[in-house]
Amino acid sequence: MSSQYTNRKVVLNRRPQGELRDGDLSIVSEPVRELVEGELLLKTLWLSLDPYMRPRMSEIKNYLAPIGIGKVIVGETVSVVVESKTKKFRQGDLVTCFSGWQEYFLANENMENIYNINDQGLPLSIFLGSAGMTGRTAYSGITFIGKPKFGETLVVSAAAGSVGTVVGQLAKAQGCHTVGIAGGAEKCRFLVDEMGFDAAVDYKDDDFANHLKSACPDGIDIYFENVGGDVAKAVAPLLNKGARVPICGYVSAYNSPDLNKAETPMDIFNALPEPPEFRYFQVREWHDQYHEITALLTEKVLNGELKYTETIAYGLEKAEAAFKGLRSGANLGKQLVKVAEER
């Protein structure tokens, strides 16, 4: 027996070879079945688009299992409970969960990573960005691995993206000289003028390595890694003794046919005569501090300590194009899809 709802979802049609091409993903529709006891029906309001989604479309297993052919593309959402047969969640509750690229989702009340939102008057999209997984990723990498000290120099790659903007602001607030690496003059101006970075360097510039060196006259104490490849190679010789490198990702390799064989930042830093203290991390390592960190970041957004910007696509059918834009660096700040109206 089906309910009154029809679900549209974006599924993996075939494994991408390199960048996404037409036909790799497809939108399908299906009726939503009736709830049983212990279930709730979620309507997606906002969908987060993030770089980690691309390697999960490949067949190669890495730190997360690949998406199956015909399965929904993964992703975190802000959703509203439209029906509930649980005592934990009521109709009208707002939640974050990993329901993926779809308009509706049948959730079990005991599923992991489903949390009520205390929005405190903030835009709901914030809980996918600066006060969401993006913000928690930046905070955890900086706090638990980067361990900034007053007067140190921090460099972050993909600085104009959702994680990078938070990293720079958190480090600046702790007295660091903050340098962002981004693609293009407009993004570099944005980092300095809007996000408060001390300097920004364009990796597309022919003299990028020398510009980076000039922006870091005392070397680099913390490098927050999001990119890898040539950017990491330009950073490596500038790392000071005792430098710390939180490795959040390395998007330069995400189109590789076999991510397990691609050159990683770990390879680059290990090849140095005196390798820095580095490690790859996932935000779920600090899952037990989810509520504490979310509350801290929410407060920083509320009081204006943490600025943010968003790039928004409208409608589930725009998700694929928006994701391609994210992969090419077309976004500024957090890339989101507004799937449905909030009320």
Predicted confidence (pLDDT) at residue 2 exceeds the cutoff of 70: no
- Counting residues of the chain whose pLDDT is more than 70, the rounded percentage is 97
Report the distance separating Cα 102 and Cα 104, nearest Å. 6
Band (1; pLDDT cuts 50, 70, 90): very low
Supply the pLDDT for residue 64.
Answer: 75
Q: Would you say how long the chain is, in residues?
A: 343
Predicted confidence (pLDDT) at residue 311 exceeds the cutoff of 80: yes
Band (343; pLDDT cuts 50, 70, 90): low
Band (261; pLDDT cuts 50, 70, 90): confident
Nearest to 72 by CA among 31, 114, 13, 3: 13
Domains and CATH numbers, the chain: 2-129+309-338 (3.90.180.10), 133-284 (3.40.50.720)
183: tokens are: 């693609």
Predicted confidence (pLDDT) at residue 146 exceeds the cutoff of 80: yes
Comparing 33 with 2, the larger pLDDT belongs to: 33
Q: pTM for the full model?
A: 0.93
Supply the pLDDT for residue 62.
Answer: 66
- Counting residues of the chain whose pLDDT is more than 90, the rounded percentage is 89
Supply the pLDDT for residue 259.
Answer: 67
- The stretch 151-177 carries a mean pLDDT of 98
Supply the pLDDT for residue 28.
Answer: 98
Judged by average pLDDT, the poorest of 28-42, 208-222, 244-258 is 244-258
Residue 27 near residue 9 (C-beta atoms within 8 A): yes
Predicted confidence (pLDDT) at residue 120 exceeds the cutoff of 90: yes
pLDDT tens readout for residues 48-106? 999 999 999 988 766 678 999 999 999 999 999 999 999 999 999 999 999 999 999 99
Supply the pLDDT for residue 141.
Answer: 98
Supply the pLDDT for residue 342.
Answer: 80
Supply the pLDDT for residue 252.
Answer: 84
- The stretch 164-193 carries a mean pLDDT of 98
* Average predicted confidence (pLDDT) for the chain: 94
- The stretch 328-343 carries a mean pLDDT of 92
Per-residue three-class SS string for 183-195? CCHHHHHHHHHCC
